Amino acid sequence: MHKTVYSLRNYKKQLILGPIFKTLEVVFELLIPFLMKNIIDNGINEAKLNGNYNTILVDGGIILLFCVLGYFSTMMCQYLSSIASQGFGTDLRNRLFKKINDLSLKEINDFGPGFVSNLFNNDANRLQLAVAMIIRLVIRAPALVIGSLVCSLFISWQIALIYLGIVVIVSLFLFIILKSTSHKFLKLQHQNDELSQIVDDGINGTRVIRSFNSQEIEVKKYEEKTDEYYKDAKKVSLLNALINPTTYLVINIGILLTIYIGSLFINTKNESSFSIGDIVALVSYLSQILTALVVVCNLVVIFNKAYASKKRVDGFFLTESSVKNNAMYKNLKIEKNRTLFDFKDVDFSYANNINVVSNLNLTIKKGESVGIIGGTGSGKSTIVKLLDRFIDCTHGTISYKGVDLKLYDLDELHKEISLVNQKNQVFKGTIRSNLLVANNHATKEDLINALKNAEAYSFVSKYDDFLDHPVEEGGHNLSGGQIQRLCIARALLRNSETIILDDSMSSLDFITDKKVRQNLAKLTNLTKIYVSQRATTLKHCNKIIVVDKGKIECVGNHDYLLENSPIYKEIYESQVRNN
């Protein structure tokens, strides 16, 4: 079971015992008006006439006992609901985070960061609150309404019918509100996702926005979205705002009718005769109905929002990754210079069915140094995603170590391939903690060797705290080149068979770039795949793949491409000329 309710699997006891304790509280609450009626009708008269306070003391003592028992029943219910709701919320967020890591990049990109962020915040919080309310109030509210109607029936069936009519009217009103707003909450959540995405883009792209003086444009775009959200949210709020006043109005009309009808028949000698105690008890039961209906009104709003959140979370859980881990092969060993990757007629397209790459045919051998070069949007990063199986090809086949890549264990594949992304990512912590992400068992000597091979040791060694130097969120206290070198060191620490550097040396100066490549060249058993816009970075590769408009234009070494690839020649000469 992948749906939201699965997170309640460990809290069945709380879901059962919590409402039971709440029901006990309702029983004690329903008995108190009968005791009050007896005190008013009998106890006070006995005290006045003969000074006998037994009825007042006994019934008063029982009322006090019921209050204490009700208090402890409520506290037990609150305790159980806290355990269940907090535990549910924790389990749900853990499952959401695991699901994110199970999905392929395609599905994550389809959802968008705004949607995913709101799942953890708004949606999870709303569902957590709903669980707490289910235990605390879902049983109590209807039990109090039904119990008050039954108790009123014992006193006066005519008044009980009036109360029943009030309950029916309010219930119909709540149903209309529920039907009118349920779909609106889902729309508001989607709008909230868009707002979160705009804020995220604004924070991440603040330097770009300011450099182009486009703050006013971004602010206006955000204001337009918030205005749209405001108008839709106002409509929903106005509908929900009608609930409590309308309920109070109907209930107060019922109280007036009770007092009026009761005053007509008070102390008369017919069958419908009312005592003062009867009126007090009936008004008390109507007040309890009022309390319960107000709670129901609030629950309608809470559950309406929670239902919209549940649909979003369920949809996320039910989304299947387009990349499946079939795990038929793992830990396969091949000799150096044997075929590592083999692409045959490979195409890939997204949902629009337009190929991003087409008819790819290429071979990468173990221990080779391979370069991939091409213009922006030529398909270089798509090839990297196919190599590391973040996505699966639409047509054709990709072989890895002689077997279908789709049949190779994904976890093992990612152990055997280290990737340094185009957009380098470091985490808040220290240099040590960022490096240990790749290999938690690495020694200090391993860390230093990796830093040296990545040409990162030169700046890390200057810090007084060395490996324990703090790394701010997003690496804001480091330069772009320093971040890239740390990420290369982290990839080397993995001790993988293959390393893919996806334009991950673009922030390095030419001298550092050269030194890193020289260090990597010494690792003769390591297959190195460089993706770069710099022809000078790739000129020493055994094989260079030139990609243009999603197709392989030419394959060969530097000298061959200068003779046979107009695209490569143009790139190389323009860069050499400019330098």
pLDDT at 403: 93
CA nearest neighbour of 575 among 488, 516, 513, 520: 513
Q: Residue 355: CB partners within 8 Å, gap ≥ 6?
A: 347, 348, 349, 394, 550
* pLDDT tens by residue, 518-561: 898 888 889 999 998 888 888 889 899 999 988 999 999 999 99
Statement: residue 1 has pLDDT above 50:
no
Average pLDDT over residues 442-459: 91
| Identity at 106, one-letter amino acid code | K
**pLDDT of the residue at 185:** 66
Return the structure tokens found at 29.
């609450």
User: Which of 36-40, 116-120, 190-194 shows the lowest per-residue confidence on average (mean pLDDT)?
Assistant: 190-194
Q: Which residues contact 9 (CB under 8 A, 6 or more apart)?
A: none
pLDDT of residue 400 exceeding 90: yes
Q: What is the pLDDT of residue 182?
A: 63
Amino acid at 294: V
SS (H, E, C) 26-75: HHHHHHHHHHHHHHHHHHHHHHHHHCCCHHHHHHHHHHHHHHHHHHHHHH
User: How far apart (Å, rounded) are the C-alpha atoms in residues 352 and 354?
Assistant: 5
Residues whose CB is less than 8 angstroms from the CB of residue 430 and which lie 6 or more positions away in sequence, other chains included: 467, 468, 469, 470, 471
168-209 per-position pLDDT tens digit: 887 787 777 767 766 676 677 677 777 777 776 666 666 556
More confident residue, 470 or 508: 470
Q: What is the pLDDT of residue 65?
A: 92
**DSSP bridge partners of 502:** 531
Q: For residue range 280-316, list pLDDT tens digits in order.
A: 887 788 778 877 877 877 787 788 778 888 888 888 8
Q: Are strands 355-365 and 369-374 parallel, antiparallel or unpaired?
A: unpaired
Name the β-bridge partners of 274.
266
> Of 112-121, 271-280, 537-546, 566-575, which range is least confident?
271-280
Look at residue 101 and tell me whether its pLDDT is greater than 70.
yes
Per-residue model confidence (pLDDT) at position 512? 87
CATH superfamily, domain 11-317, is: ABC transporter type 1, transmembrane domain (1.20.1560.10)
From 181, 425, 192, select the one nearest 307 (Cα to Cα): 181
Q: What is the CATH number of domain 339-578?
A: 3.40.50.300
Highest mean pLDDT of the ranges 273-277, 311-315, 430-434 = 430-434
Mean pLDDT calculated for residue range 85-98: 90
Is residue 123 predicted with pLDDT exceeding 50? yes
Lowest mean pLDDT among 78-82, 421-425, 445-449: 421-425
Domain regions of the chain by residue span:
11-317, 339-578
Q: What is the mean pLDDT of residues 265-285?
A: 68
Among 75-79, 326-330, 477-481, 520-524, top mean pLDDT goes to 75-79
Q: CB–CB of 547/348 below 8 Å?
A: no
Listed in sequence order, the residues at least 6 apart from 86 whose beta carbon sits closer than 8 Å to its beta carbon are 128
Three-state DSSP at 502 gives strand
pLDDT above 50 (res 253): yes
Averaged pLDDT of the chain: 83
Q: Which of 127-141, 190-204, 349-363 has the lowest mean pLDDT?
A: 190-204
What confidence score (pLDDT) does residue 84 get? 92
What pLDDT score does 268 carry?
53
**Residue with the two structure tokens 């405001």:** 230
pLDDT above 90 covers a percentage of the chain that reads: 21
